[in-house]
Amino acid sequence: PLLEVPARLLRVEDPRLQVEAFGLRFPNPLGLAAGMDKDARALGAWWALGFGFAEVGTLTPRAQEGNPRPRLFRLVEDHALINRMGFNNQGAERAARRLKSFRERGLSFPLGVNLGKNRDTPLERAAEDYERALQVLEPYGDYFVLNVSSPNTPGLRTLQEGPFLDELLARLRPATRKPLLLKVAPDLTFEALDQAVELCLKHGLEGLVAVNTTLERPNLKSPLAKEAGGLSGRPLKERALEVLRHLSGVEGLTLVSVGGVEGPEDVWERLKLGARLVQVYTGFVYGGPLFPRRVLKGLLKLMEAEGVRSLKELWVPIR
């Protein structure tokens, strides 16, 4: 009840913004990306601020501390962040309890759950970690994302490579009938990306979240540019768009675009390029709590200007 007042002021409820993706209905296409609410502690707030959905995590089967601080840096001159958090989280079971109690409030707000492996789990046993976390959280998420692309867990990105990924997907697909997506790195070559797509289709995944943070440092002005970790925000925009354009012809996978989203024009561009949903993290950090409202109001104006009566008009149906 406490959140209903801000929700009435902030949420943009408009049927023109509704989206259907991988069998779920979203009130609007703007979501909170994983990493902001690692332990599912502020679910009601994301709803009240106006997001169409939120993705919690990354969650690992066991709680872990993550990397030593400082581990998050604001590159103000670049409208960017660098993080090397290292999957700090309280573990799958605590998050499952929070998700369960949120579910009992009956809000129709889709929740994604982003899954990872514990740092001390060897790569050859990584699939067991994802499977354990998925088993614990499966009843409470609406869709699940396999995070094999964070640059801050040593060796994790190896799981994007053919043999590892094939085994991981073969093991996890049977573990849930809910939508399962793969989150990919912006630093993959198009060839590696195509291989990941092929494996997603082979194993019947529903979609791709593109992209995670980058290890590249494209023309940064901030003195913090040399900090280790993954870069997000404005400098990632160009690569996120390149990857989206490359993936936009893929049939049978729903695309969730993330990376460098700062305003309604970015969301509109990505929806027209074939993304069904768009996520934000750094843009929200810089844009503040009114960001979702501003973006969705702006999106409606852009739709009106182009004579688009509803987002459903943008896409031919995906199976």
Give catalytic residues, as residue numbers. 150
- Taking alpha carbons only, the member of 197, 203, 143 closest to residue 169 is 203
Residue 240 bridge partners (DSSP):
none
Query: Do residues 39 and 287 lie in contact, with contact meaning Cβ atoms separated by under 8 Å?
Result: no
Tokens of 270: 């990505």
Which amino acid, one-letter code, is at 225? A
Query: Do residues 180 and 172 lie in contact, with contact meaning Cβ atoms separated by under 8 Å?
Result: yes
Instruction: Give the C-alpha distances (Å, rounded to integers) separating 268 from 26, 297, 311.
Output: 16, 12, 10
Distance CA 160, CA 146 (A): 10
Query: Do residues 289 and 49 lie in contact, with contact meaning Cβ atoms separated by under 8 Å?
Result: yes
- In sequence order, which residues have a C-beta less than 8 Å from that of residue 109 and are 6 or more positions away? 27, 43, 46, 47, 53, 54
Chain centroid to Cα 207, Å, comes to 11
Instruction: Give the C-alpha distances (Å, rounded to integers) separating 287 from 216, 282, 301.
Output: 24, 8, 19
**Burial of 217 (C-beta count, 10 Å sphere; 0-12/13-18/19+):** middle
Distance CA 33, CA 259 (A): 9
- Taking alpha carbons only, the member of 98, 90, 35 closest to residue 64 is 90
Q: What angle do CA 20, 21, 25 make, to 5 degrees?
A: 45
Chain centroid to Cα 82, Å, comes to 17
